[in-house]
Amino acid sequence: MLQPCLRSGQIYAGMRIGLLGGSFNPAHAAHREMSLYALKRLGLDEVWWLVSPQNPLKPEKGMAPFAVRLEAARKFARHLRIRATDLEAQLGTRYTVCTLRKLRKHFPHTRFVWLMGADNLRQIPKWHRWTEIFTLAPIAVFRRQGYGFSAFGKAALRFAASRHQVNGCGRKLASLTAPAWLVLGNRLNLLSATAIRRHSNQDEAARG
- The pLDDT assigned to 146 comes to 77
Query: What digits encode the pLDDT tens for the residues 16-42?
Result: 999 999 999 999 999 999 999 999 999
Answer whether residue 61 is part of any domain. Answer: yes
Q: Is residue 202's pLDDT more than 90?
A: no
Answer whether residue 88 is part of any domain. Answer: yes
Domain count, the chain: 1
Answer whether residue 3 is part of any domain. Answer: no
Confidence tier at 48 by pLDDT (50, 70, 90): very high
Answer whether residue 4 is part of any domain. Answer: no
Answer whether residue 1 is part of any domain. Answer: no
> Could you give the strand order of the β-sheet that contains 163-164, starting from the edge strand earlier in sequence?
82-85, 46-51, 16-22, 111-117, 139-142, 181-183, 163-164
pTM above 0.85, yes or no: yes
Q: Is residue 71's pLDDT more than 60?
A: yes
Answer whether residue 2 is part of any domain. Answer: no
CA dist list (Å): 111 to 7, 99, 163, 175: 17, 14, 18, 7
Return the DSSP state at 104: H
Confidence tier at 197 by pLDDT (50, 70, 90): very low
CATH code of 122's domain: 3.40.50.620
DSSP 36-57: HHHHHHTT-SEEEEEE-S--TT
- The pLDDT assigned to 188 comes to 79
Query: What digits encode the pLDDT tens for the residues 137-184?
Result: 999 999 988 777 666 899 999 999 999 998 878 899 999 999 999 999
Answer whether residue 153 is part of any domain. Answer: yes
- The pLDDT assigned to 187 comes to 86
Q: Is residue 192's pLDDT more than 80?
A: no
Amino acid at 68: V
How far is the C-alpha of 56 from the C-alpha of 128, rounded, in Å?
A: 10
Q: Could you tell me if 100 and 66 are in contact, meaning their C-beta atoms sit under 8 angstroms apart?
A: no
Range of the domain at 133: 9-207
How far is the C-alpha of 82 from the C-alpha of 29, rounded, in Å?
A: 13
